[in-house]
Structure 1
Amino acid sequence: MSLQRLLQFIGWPVVAGLLIATLALLLFPQLRPDTTDNTSPRTIPGAPVSYSEAVSKAAPSVVNIYTSKIVQRRNQSLADNPLYRHLFNNANTPQQVRMQSTLGSGVIVDDQGHILTNNHIIEGADEIQVLLNDGRETDAQVVGIDDETDLAVLKISLEAVSAIAFGDPSRARVGDVVLAIGNPYGVGQSVSQGIVSATGRYNLGTSFYENFIQTDAAINPGNSGGALIDAYGNLIGINTAVLDETGASIGIGFAVPIDMAMKSLNSIIQYGKVVRGSLGFTGSIVYFKSEFVARNNLNTGTALRVEHIEPRGPAHLAGIRPGDLITHLNQQPVGDGRQALNLIADTPPGDTLKVQLIRYNTMLEVDVIVGTRESGKTRT
């Protein structure tokens, strides 16, 4: 068979097949191939369409907290009249009345029943009641508080408690979906959804150590101490505060990163208080001019100017003087000061920090044995 006859023999079936396929696509559009852009965030493999599984995973670990305290109150009656008390020898002893004072939320973080919440929820309370998601209710004991991060650790004695799974707040990115679980206004456990608006927020004046995750997920009164979880139900923060004069959520809320919160909890459980490192000096941030940075071959444009030295403290014993400009701690730039503060606080007392500083235009490096910071009140 010649090539020309072979092409004629197979050509007609091919043409007929193409015509039939074209007609089928015209008559049945659903047969057309999907041309959707699979790079869209909505179709990224593994991205949740609903957050119900995340909530189901985390919600059993979030509890409602109710506190009450004893207050002194006199009866407003005839007995308050001084003449009546004189005639009838009535001292009018003040009555003790137990009143519910605050409500909030908390998160069960281990199988032993330890709960993380906010200090401002339980501060001054005489009795603390915890309501679990499964309906069980029990008293809670205060293990300790960390007023420098506005955190408190409670403990309940119940079997089969559900500890929450942890996420990694250091990997949280602006734009990540997050969910806030708590007890807003005492209506019962509720969930609000938003995104991470910012990370590393500080200078809010709510506590001494600040490194907040900012979110627009609604955080209202009663949400404090509750969970901020990622889209997969992992805890990344403890909801703490909102930025609004009315106390209601306007989309600017803050959570303490869970890694920071767990450092406080572990220290309280181990030592009965929060133990943080200290170098025994106070300072302020100064900014170098660009020519100074270039002339001294620095990789930082800021330093901590030492202002006051604690007598016989770690810095004093290491030879650091007022006026020294500290540029690095363990080879890490001091940045805006917050990084340096957190690094010192996280260093166990007794360990050594290498401090690089400038004194009269001379670069020096000294070893400082970290001391213990005298933190605020702790209750056990």
Structure 2
Amino acid sequence: MRFIPAILSALILCATSPMVQADSKVVPGSSAVMQLSFAPVVKKTAPAVVNVYSQRKLVEDQSKSGLMEDPFFRRFFGDGGSFGRPRERVASSLGSGVIVDPNGLIVTNNHVIANATDIKVALADKREFEAKVLIADERTDLAVLKIEVPDEQLPALALADSDALEVGDLVLAIGNPFGVGQTVTSGIISALARTRVGVSDYQFFIQTDAAINPGNSGGALVNMNGELVGINTAIFSRSGGSIGIGFAIPTNMVKTVVATAETGGAAIKRPWLGAELQDVSPDIATSLGMARPEGALIVNLHPESPLAKAGLKRGDIVLALEGKPVETAQELGYRSATTAIGATIIVEYQRKGDRKETQMTMIAAPETVARDDTVIKGPNPLSGATLTNLSPAVAEELSLPAELQGVVISKIEKGPAMRFFKRGDVVLDLNGSKIDNVDTLKAALADERNMWRIAINRGGRVLKLAIGG
């Protein structure tokens, strides 16, 4: 217990230091403070950080290899020889995870276990267990695993309120970089609400200068209270190693995924805004008489949108949810995504220069029309694709604008469709017939042709295809 007197003496020295601030957060003011250690925090948190090993099968098409492009080798093996046949191989990957429930619930990154056929978790004491995937969510890049450890309560980390973080707060990153074994690095919160990281749909990350490297993905970012504040997920690096710019998913997003897993859900039900939003640029702020650019401008609203039902209109600027400022459209998406469905929250907004306030009840995206999922077959370019009637719920799942209507390609597994189309393409017209639901599409496909003329909406652009049949 020699550590405690050292802390007490350090606090006394800090209390007399002119650098003490009004709140409880202080900068080092003496040599005694500089000699303090992170060891107690590490001892408390490190046992809850695990290694995640995953294996996946990859099929290699050897007919496309450099050898088979050489006429010399083709002469011996031929076009249809065994050398040219697809061959399976097993690829392994290593990441980290965090135990968030003593009964064996583990959070990691989705990209660590994506498409895995076998997943093992190694605890800090080197015991290994088979893991089952409860949730794998590509949009948040989070996954929840479950291991069975009978008659034992595992060490678990409490989830802190990530909104309470401030730039400059001390944090530790714990994981298994490069597979060398569990490693702890220290740093500070470099920035909050980082966007354009390109890891998940919800671009809202904690940035830290604590060293994060390959293998750290899914590991813990903890505060000085030994609480989880983020899941380490990405680095910014041209060399592949840490250069002091790492990103973590905030725990307030992690909580929504864990809550779904704890209730037995296989898919995450997200709150839905039903709005097309835009950042407020300096020019827009000036034209609207705003002191500075802030908030999310409402460009379009779906009739069923909770914002519309709360009284907001096109042209309004959302400034805060539940007292938490909204600086950008992406931040509004994050704030809403970390709110429970059914919760009633206070929305602050600006309309024609006046700041107003109202209440909004969060809802899930509604299914206004039946999905009517249909796998297309037969001699046509869409063969192999699954077509689905668009509704706000389907649009939300596919990350499409809420106002889109008609028929969307929700899945492509095989067939000619793989050559011409992508998941999320909206079919607008087929051989001159306007496509407004799956039934009209099937009717248009019934007329076999040698040439198919198809118009689709892909990412807001209308593409017109002429495909020979």
TM-score, structure 1 normalization: 0.74
User: Quick one: which of 298, 304, 312 aligns to 1:306?
Assistant: 298
User: Quick check: which has more Rg, 1 or 2?
Assistant: 1
Counterpart CA distance in 1 for 2:48 and 2:279 is 41
Q: Does 1:282 align with 2:276?
A: yes
What secondary structure, in the 3-state scheme, does the structure 1 residue paired with 2:55 have? strand
What secondary structure, in the 3-state scheme, does the structure 2 residue paired with 1:109 have? strand
Counterpart CA distance in 1 for 2:217 and 2:257 is 17
Distance 1:366 1:180, change over 3 A: closer
Q: Which residue of 1 aligns with 2:48?
A: 61
Q: Does 1:81 align with 2:105?
A: no
Alignment map for 1:1-380 (pairs within 5 Å): 38-39=13-14, 41=28, 49-73=36-60, 81-82=77-78, 85=81, 94-100=86-92, 102-159=93-150, 160=152, 161-270=154-263, 271-286=265-280, 287-289=284-286, 292-293=289-290, 302-315=294-307, 320-327=312-319, 329=321, 334-353=326-345, 355=347, 368-373=360-365, 374=393, 376=397
Counterpart CA distance in 1 for 2:349 and 2:113 is 43
What secondary structure, in the 3-state scheme, does the structure 2 residue paired with 1:268 have? helix
Shift of 1:219: 0.5
Distance 1:57 1:81, change over 3 A: same
Distance 1:348 1:260, change over 3 A: closer
Counterpart CA distance in 2 for 1:370 and 1:254 is 28
Counterpart CA distance in 1 for 2:356 and 2:168 is 42
What secondary structure, in the 3-state scheme, does the structure 1 residue paired with 2:260 have? helix
Shift of 1:222: 0.3
Amino acid at match of 2:199: T
What secondary structure, in the 3-state scheme, does the structure 2 residue paired with 1:274 have? coil
Counterpart CA distance in 2 for 1:123 and 1:288 is 42
Shift of 1:162: 1.8
What secondary structure, in the 3-state scheme, does the structure 1 residue paired with 2:181 have? coil
Counterpart CA distance in 2 for 1:83 and 1:170 is 60
Shift of 1:369: 4.2
What secondary structure, in the 3-state scheme, does the structure 1 residue paired with 2:101 have? coil
Higher relative contact order (CA 8 A, sep 6+): 1
Count of residue pairs the alignment pairs up: 333
Q: Could you list the runs of 5+ residues in structure 2 that have no partner in the other structure?
A: 1-8, 18-27, 68-72, 366-392, 399-469
Counterpart CA distance in 1 for 2:302 and 2:55 is 41
Counterpart CA distance in 1 for 2:74 and 2:290 is 78
Shift of 1:150: 1.3
Distance 1:44 1:154, change over 3 A: farther
Amino acid at match of 2:138: D
Q: Which residue of 1 aligns with 2:427?
A: none
Please provide the CA RMSD for this pair. Answer: 3.7
TM-score, structure 2 normalization: 0.61
Counterpart CA distance in 1 for 2:206 and 2:285 is 29
What secondary structure, in the 3-state scheme, does the structure 1 residue paired with 2:299 have? strand
Amino acid at match of 1:288: A
Shift of 1:135: 1.2
Q: Deviations over 1:12-42 (max 9, x none)?
A: xxxxxxxxxxxxxxxxxxxxxx9xx923525
Distance 1:364 1:169, change over 3 A: closer
What secondary structure, in the 3-state scheme, does the structure 2 residue paired with 1:289 have? helix
Counterpart CA distance in 2 for 1:181 and 1:288 is 42
What secondary structure, in the 3-state scheme, does the structure 2 residue paired with 1:344 have? helix
Counterpart CA distance in 1 for 2:80 and 2:138 is 47
Alignment identity in percent? Answer: 38
Distance 1:126 1:50, change over 3 A: same
Bigger shift: 199-208 or 127-136? 199-208
Shift of 1:198: 2.3
What secondary structure, in the 3-state scheme, does the structure 1 residue paired with 2:134 have? strand
Distance 1:157 1:217, change over 3 A: same
Shift of 1:261: 1.2
